[in-house]
Every structure is written in C-alpha cells, then in structure tokens.
C-alpha cells in the first residue's frame, strides 16, 4: 500500500499512529495515512507560531511572499495529473473533474500571489493637530485550516492562498476521509521553498486532532469547511483561545426554473448542479423549484439525462458519475431516500443502491410535490434531486428561502426584471442567473444562515486574515505638558 506522511516544521513524519484509507471504487484499503494526535498538533502549531514571529517568513517582504505563492502556483500546474490521480483514488471523484479543478486551483494561488503586496493600510485625516495617524494590516496569526475530503485542494487553496498573502502561517488539517491529495500537495509546498513551519499539513480524527487544533492557545483564526454540527464544536472549542472563525457549511440550494427559460439549457445546468462530483458539493443545486406549467417537460428531459449518465470507475475518463466517498454517506443517502418515498414522494428515477463493490449510487430524481418531504429539508450530499413546483414568483421566493441554509442559488428566466427581483429576494450568498457553479478567485464566496459566515475568494478573503493596527505619531517638538497642572 502507498504510505503517506504528515508535513510539520518543514519535514515529513509518520505521526503517533497510522490508519488505512479505503478506495471508494472498490471498498478496499489502498494506503496508510499518518494519524496526528495532540502531540503532533502541538508541534505543528508551535512551528507555525515560531515561523510567524521569529523566522525567515517574518522578515520577508510582501512581494517576496507573493513570489513564493507564484512558485507554488507553477508547481500545482505542473503536477495536475499526479494530484488529480491521488484525489480520484482516495475520494472517488472522477478524474475528469479532479484534473479540471486542480488546474484551476493554480489560478487561485496566482491570484493571491499578485495580491500579497496589495494589502494596504491607510492614512487617516485625524481631527487632532500635531498628529499623524495611520493603519497597518498585519497577519492575524496562526491559522487552523480544516478542509473536508470533497474538492479538498480547491477548498484548501481558498484558505492557504489568502492566509499566506496576508503573512499568516498555517496548520492545515485534511479530512481523515481521503487525505491523500493534501498530503501529496505538501511536497509541492516543500519544493516551492516556503520556510519551515509556514505551512504544516496533517490529518487525523476529530477528538484527537481536530479538537486539539481548534482549541490550541496559539491558534488565532479557524477557517473551516464542513457541516454545521462540526462547526458548532469548533465554535465551542474556539472559546478557549478566542480565535476568530470563518465557516463555510454547505447548503440546500434552490435551483429555480421559470416557464420562460430555455429548458434544455436549464436541464444541462441542473445535471451539472446535482450530479457533478456525484452530488458531493456544498453548492449542489439539490432543490429544483420549477414553474408548474414547465414541470412535466423539464422532468422528462432530466429523467432522460439522468438515466444516460455513465457510471463507472473514477479513473476512467469516460465515467461521468463515480462512487461516493464513504459507505456511511451512501447508507445515509439511501435511508433519506426511503424516508422521503415513505412520506409520499414519487421516485422518478434511481433511488436504489446497486449491487457490487464500491460505494456507488445512481443519479436519483424525486418528485416531492404535495408532500412534507424530508428530502426538501435535509442535505443528501449525494446525487439526489428533489423537485417541487410553484405557480407564482412570490411562491418561488418563499420556497427558495424555506430552508435553514443560504449558500447558493440558481435562477433561470429570460426576464431581466424578474431576474433582478429574484436576486434581491433570495437569501443566499451566491445567486447564479442562467448559469450554475461558476467560480473565480476574484469573486467572494460564502453563505447566510446555517451556511456559515465569512467569505472565501477575492480581496475580502485576504483581509479576513489580517488585523488592523493603528499607529499614532505626535509631530510636535514641544514637550507634553504636565497633565496635573491646571492651565
């Protein structure tokens, strides 16, 4: 089996223990991973703290930091295939998707490489004579970046890139499910020439690794992508060190189609929104809200497309949908589908766990009209689309906002005025109009409500990794008068 190591203080190490990682396509162990525990975490955080305050990194100019990030971007671009194969093997995400996404990850590092020396303070027009007052943007400190297994190199880049541009140091925790690509990425960090301790990459389990990391007294900021349940534990842990947090927590995103939309185009976008990455995406358009007069036609198109999807080995470039990452995720999906159909929803296609090895699940569509469906409220995190219809624009808005989440949304219509009304009315951090899943390093990304707070991407993300220092400089040569002498 392949054997991976942690990356701590500029060196590779095995950690206190090891565990096996399973290939989602076969269910068999294929690699051994280092299990970081409290002592490993403490060593990594202390290395990051030393690098922040004392080492070469602390003395680098912002432009020099940018050049290191640029070198890292080049290395990612040069190693796309190697990283993509690791991610596909360890998570089941198909090679076509991992290759394309990791190639774009290089652009995120390039963007933050260019931004590193654009993070500026300001001179204040202060209301006091004989004073010069200005602000400086300084790194927030040691960052704990906690990344899930899905799209992990992308979700790591939107944390590592802005944090390094701002001058922070990091301890990155890869998920215990599928950590191989991030542990492989550590070799690129090392090759790029970052000073020891600036970026540390570990993996391990929640109680022994995640808890130790998020409550460590030297951690100043926690950047987390995952579920609300884990986020609540992180927020409680951060009470120990009063670390700031940025949380991206997934969603139950509405995909709204009006009758005037191009239904073929909308269907293609909906297939990408829910079946890409086998539905294991925080922005998955998992709730199709369709105007009633267009429902039957759109469902007919979607059923044909779903049943024509090529399911197979994730390393095969002909495959369009691969396995789920874990067996427990597949079991969760099947149980939720069963509860939904038992509540009266109609299965349009799919909905049954296939025979054979691996954790595969077919593209599934459920018509939930007229039911109090669990599928409309709970996140599947899999290739399952729930469908309801609406009569009016106001009803579409009500259905779209009838969720505890608020990460992403899609609106398909040819009416420009309606599109603007929907943009204002939908309570979500991202609204895509006549498109879906578009991202860019230039554009901020994040959610409302239980989808979290803080933004990833753009200048706003880099500023989140800074704190403002205000400097007062007295310009008068006159002595400061005795404050206890009345004049």
Q: Which residues are catalytic?
A: 248
Q: Which two tokens stand for residue 347?
A: 């299965």
Q: Which of 155, 154, 137, 135 is nearest to 146 (CA)?
A: 155
Q: What angle do CA 20, 21, 25 make, to 5 degrees?
A: 140
Contact 412, 258 (CB under 8 A): yes
What's the half-sphere exposure (Cβ side, CA atoms, 13 Å) at 290? 26
How far is Cα 338 from Cα 347, in angstroms, rounded to an integer?
10
Q: Which two tokens stand for residue 65?
A: 């930091």
Q: Which two tokens stand for residue 170?
A: 């990091």
| Overall residue count recorded for the chain in this entry | 487
CA 242 to each of CA 230, 246, 296: distance values in angstroms, whole numbers, following the listed order? 17, 13, 53
Q: Which of 209, 186, 278 is nearest to 15 (CA)?
A: 209
DSSP state of 375: G
How many contiguous H segments (helices) and E segments (strands) does the chain have? 15, 21
């Amino acid at each position: 089996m392949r054997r991976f190591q942690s990356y701590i203080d500029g060196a590779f190490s095995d950690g206190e223990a090891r565990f096996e990682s399973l290939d989602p396509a076969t269910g068999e162990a294929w690699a051994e991973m280092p299990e970081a525990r409290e002592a490993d975490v403490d060593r990594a955080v202390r290395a990051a703290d030393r690098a922040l305050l004392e080492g070469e990194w602390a003395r680098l100019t912002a432009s020099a930091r940018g050049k290191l990030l640029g070198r890292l971007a080049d290395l990612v671009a040069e190693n796309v295939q190697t990283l993509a194969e690791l991610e596909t093997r360890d998570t089941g995400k198909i090679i076509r998707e991992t290759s394309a996404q990791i190639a774009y990850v290089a652009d995120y590092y390039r963007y933050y490489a260019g931004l590193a020396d654009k993070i500026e303070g300001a001179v204040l027009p202060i209301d006091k004579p004989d004073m010069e007052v200005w602000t400086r943007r300084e790194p927030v400190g040691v960052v704990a970046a906690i990344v899930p297994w899905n799209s992990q190199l992308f979700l790591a880049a939107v944390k590592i890139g802005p944090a390094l541009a701002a001058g922070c140091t990091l301890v990155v925790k890869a998920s215990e499910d599928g950590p191989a690509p991030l542990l492989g990425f550590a070799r690129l960090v090392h090759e790029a020439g970052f000073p020891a301790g600036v970026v540390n990459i570990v993996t391990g389990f929640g109680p022994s690794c995640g808890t130790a990391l998020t409550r460590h007294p030297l951690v100043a900021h926690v950047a987390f992508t995952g579920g609300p349940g884990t986020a609540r534990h992180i927020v409680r842990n951060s009470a120990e060190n009063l670390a700031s947090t940025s949380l991206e927590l997934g969603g139950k995103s509405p995909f709204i189609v009006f009758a005037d939309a191009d239904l073929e185009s909308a269907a293609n976008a909906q297939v990408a929104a829910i079946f890409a990455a086998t539905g294991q995406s925080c922005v998955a358009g998992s709730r199709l809200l369709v105007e009633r007069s267009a429902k039957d036609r759109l469902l007919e198109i979607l059923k044909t497309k779903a049943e024509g999807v090529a399911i197979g080995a994730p390393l095969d470039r002909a495959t369009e949908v691969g396995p789920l990452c874990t067996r427990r995720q597949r079991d969760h999906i099947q149980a939720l589908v069963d509860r939904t159909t038992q509540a009266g929803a109609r299965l349009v296609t799919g909905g049954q766990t296939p025979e054979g090895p691996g954790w595969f699940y077919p593209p599934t569509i459920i018509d939930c009209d007229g039911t109090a469906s669990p599928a409309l409220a709970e996140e599947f995190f899999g290739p399952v689309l729930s469908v309801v219809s609406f009569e009016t624009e106001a009803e579409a808005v009500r259905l779209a906002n009838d969720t505890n989440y608020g990460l992403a949304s899609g609106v398909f219509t040819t009416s420009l005025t309606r599109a603007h009304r929907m943009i204002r009315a939908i309570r979500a951090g991202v609204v895509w109009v006549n498109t879906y899943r578009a991202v860019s390093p230039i554009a901020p990304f994040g959610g409302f409500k239980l989808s979290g707070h803080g933004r990833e991407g753009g200048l706003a993300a880099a500023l989140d990794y800074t704190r403002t220092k205000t400097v007062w400089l007295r310009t008068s040569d006159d002595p400061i008068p005795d404050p206890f002498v009345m004049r």
